[in-house]
């Protein structure tokens, strides 16, 4: 069997590694000319995602390139009053699995290098433009005029997945969560230090700041309630950085003072979208993985980790089930409920960031300490973080072929 994978982001190279491990021939194609080192900022890797990376043999490399092992989130309002502290429980999983932060470009590079070492390099500059399922095989065409043939096609091509659009033109598109995201790094001394192992989340009156400080560098991100933006949306008068600084006026002065020193390019906003539920994750020999199937808000902290879990499960299904359509249906059956719960969790965790004025922020700050106490009792992360996939466990056919 030969599997074609469109997308060399996070899930694509992870799937290539998992398929290689399962003894399956795989070709991975990425539209960009190389790993997108400068695109995007940082993302979180949770114990469940790190467990997959270790199973794929890439865990130690990822840890070497990641930072800020953490297990505690401290929430404050914009004036610095602590609203609550939550331990995420990841320390209980041992140091190798403790939640960490890594730039998306670095994670992509480490995975692509691991795939190349395993003999399954990502082919860059190969933008898939169309595909056809012929019943007994699939073919794909690239923007460079080339083609490829395989037994299965997996769209690991992100939230705006071209494979999804062709596979199921009626599928709902990503939904806007109402928040813009931007982020980058700063010299650590510009922000009040975070205690070891702690991420600080600041609910300002009109914007949200998350950050962690290390010895030299601090990583930060900002979420803003705002209408969605696209590549053609004009920047506000004075530029996005000025706009963000204004949104933090009225909050503790250190926030705007620190962000004034950040690289203006870090304020390029991206709308946060998610996909709560797709009618189908596959059709015949074509399937979806990662954000293409179930994009989730960064508030979940699970986008990369869920794509990694997908990769391990899908590889086992394709290894153990001869019929590709049945293998893809089984993968969806095994993954869908869990992933959709995590998408919903990300939505819930992002909603307090939507306060856009002093009154809604005041009411939110009254409610949040109660919410955090309730969350500490129910501990929704426990189930998400404890999930482990045994790649050697045989998979039996399940789910409905569609
Ligand atoms: C440029 C970029 C920056 C990001 N920055 C952040 C961030 O700062 N923080 C965060 O939490 N998450 C970020 N994400 C999202 C995060 O990477 C994903 O949520 C998560 O890792 C799931 O990975 P994925 O492989 O499913 O999708 P992605 O990581 O989005 O990878 C999809 C890949 O498919 C490629 N692709 C798209 N269309 C085609 C095509 N037609 N042919 C071939 N390849 C194609 C894309 O170039 C991309 O490399 C970013 C994604 C991208 C693409």
Over residues 55-77, mean pLDDT:
93
Return the CATH number at 158: 3.50.50.60
Mean per-residue pLDDT, 212-218: 93
Asked if residue 297 belongs to a domain, the reply is yes
45 located within any domain: yes
Would you say residue 385 lies in a domain?
no
CA-based nearest residue to 218, from 259, 258, 185, 266: 185
Q: Which tens digits make up the pLDDT trace of 345-378?
A: 888 877 777 766 777 777 777 777 777 777 777 6
Residue ranges making up the domain that contains 305: 2-62+103-173+275-349
Mean pLDDT value of segment 59-88: 91
- The answer to whether residue 402 scores a pLDDT higher than 80 is no
In total, how many domains does the chain have? 1
pLDDT in tens, 272-300: 999 999 999 999 999 999 999 999 988 88
- Indicate whether 30 belongs to any domain: yes
For ligand 1, which residues put their CB under 6 angstroms from it? 6-12, 29-32, 36, 39-41, 43, 104, 127-128, 156-158, 162, 290-291, 298, 303-304, 307
From the list 51, 50, 8, 44, the residue with the least C-alpha distance to 26 is: 8
* Average pLDDT of the residues of the chain: 92
* pLDDT-derived band at 380, boundaries 50, 70, 90: low
Instruction: Give the model's pLDDT for residue 198.
Output: 94
pLDDT tens-place string over residues 43-53: 999 999 999 99
CA distance 401 to 324: 10
Task: Tell me whether residue 34 is in a domain.
Answer: yes
Backbone angles phi, psi at 374, to 5 degrees: -65, -40
Instruction: Tell me the sheet residues that pair with 139.
Output: 132, 149
Identify the residue whose C-alpha is closest to ligand 1 atom 14: 40
Query: Which tokens sit at 173?
Result: 């598109």
Query: Could you tell me if residue 399 is inside a domain?
Result: no
**Cα-to-centroid distance, 155 and ligand 1 (Å):** 12
Cβ atoms of 282 and 148 closer than 8 Å: no
Comparing 62-66, 246-250, 299-303, which segment has the lowest mean pLDDT? 299-303
Q: Is the pLDDT of residue 225 over 80?
A: yes
The C-alpha atoms of residue 227 and residue 223 are separated, in whole angstroms, by 12
Quote the ligand 1 centre to 305 CA distance (angstroms): 13
User: What mean pLDDT is predicted for residues 299-305?
Assistant: 92
Examine residue 16 and state whether it is found in any structural domain, yes or no. yes
Q: Are 34 and 133 in contact (CB under 8 A)?
A: no
Nearest CA to ligand 1 atom 9: 43
Question: Is residue 305 one of the residues assigned to a domain?
Answer: yes
Q: What is the pLDDT of residues 93-140, one digit of tens each?
A: 788 999 999 999 999 999 999 999 999 999 999 999 999 999 999 999
């Amino acid at each position: 069997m030969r599997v074609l994978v469109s997308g060399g982001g996070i899930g694509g190279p992870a799937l290539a590694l998992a398929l290689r491990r399962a003894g399956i021939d795989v070709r991975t194609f990425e539209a960009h000319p190389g790993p997108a080192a400068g695109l995007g900022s940082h993302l979180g890797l949770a114990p469940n995602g790190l467990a997959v990376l270790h199973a794929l043999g890439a865990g130690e490399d990822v840890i070497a390139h990641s930072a800020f092992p953490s297990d505690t989130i401290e929430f404050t309002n914009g004036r610095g009053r602590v609203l609550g502290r939550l331990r995420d429980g990841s320390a209980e999983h041992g140091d190798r699995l403790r939640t960490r932060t890594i730039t998306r470009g670095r994670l992509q590079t480490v995975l692509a290098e691991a795939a190349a070492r395993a003999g399954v390099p990502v082919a860059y500059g190969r933008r898939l433009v169309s595909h056809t399922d012929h019943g007994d095989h699939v073919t794909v065409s690239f923007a460079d005029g080339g083609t490829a043939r395989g037994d299965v096609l997996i769209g690991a091509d992100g939230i705006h997945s071209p494979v999804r659009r062709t596979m199921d033109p009626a599928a709902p598109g990503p939904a806007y969560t109402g928040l813009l995201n931007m982020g980058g790094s700063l010299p650590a001394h510009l922000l009040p230090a975070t205690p070891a192992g702690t991420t600080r989340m600041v609910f300002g009156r009109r914007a949200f700041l998350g950050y962690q400080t290390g010895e030299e560098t601090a990583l930060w991100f900002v979420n803003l309630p705002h209408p969605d933006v696209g590549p053609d949306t004009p920047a506000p008068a004075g530029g996005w950085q000025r706009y963000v600084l204004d949104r933090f006026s009225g909050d503790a002065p250190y926030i705007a003072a620190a962000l004034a020193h950040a690289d203006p390019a870090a304020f390029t906003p991206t709308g946060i979208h998610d996909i709560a539920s797709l009618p189908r994750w596959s059709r015949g020999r074509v399937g979806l993985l990662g954000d293409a199937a179930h994009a989730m808000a960064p508030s979940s902290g699970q986008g990369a980790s869920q794509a990694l879990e997908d990769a391990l499960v899908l590889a086992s299904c394709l290894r153990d089930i001869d019929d590709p359509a049945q293998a893809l249906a089984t993968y969806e059956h095994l993954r869908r409920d869990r992933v959709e719960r995590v998408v919903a969790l990300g939505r819930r965790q992002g909603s307090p960031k939507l306060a856009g004025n002093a009154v809604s922020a005041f009411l939110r700050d009254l409610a949040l300490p109660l919410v955090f106490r309730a969350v500490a009792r129910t501990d929704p992360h426990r189930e998400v973080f404890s999930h482990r996939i045994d790649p050697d466990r045989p998979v039996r056919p399940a789910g409905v072929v569609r």
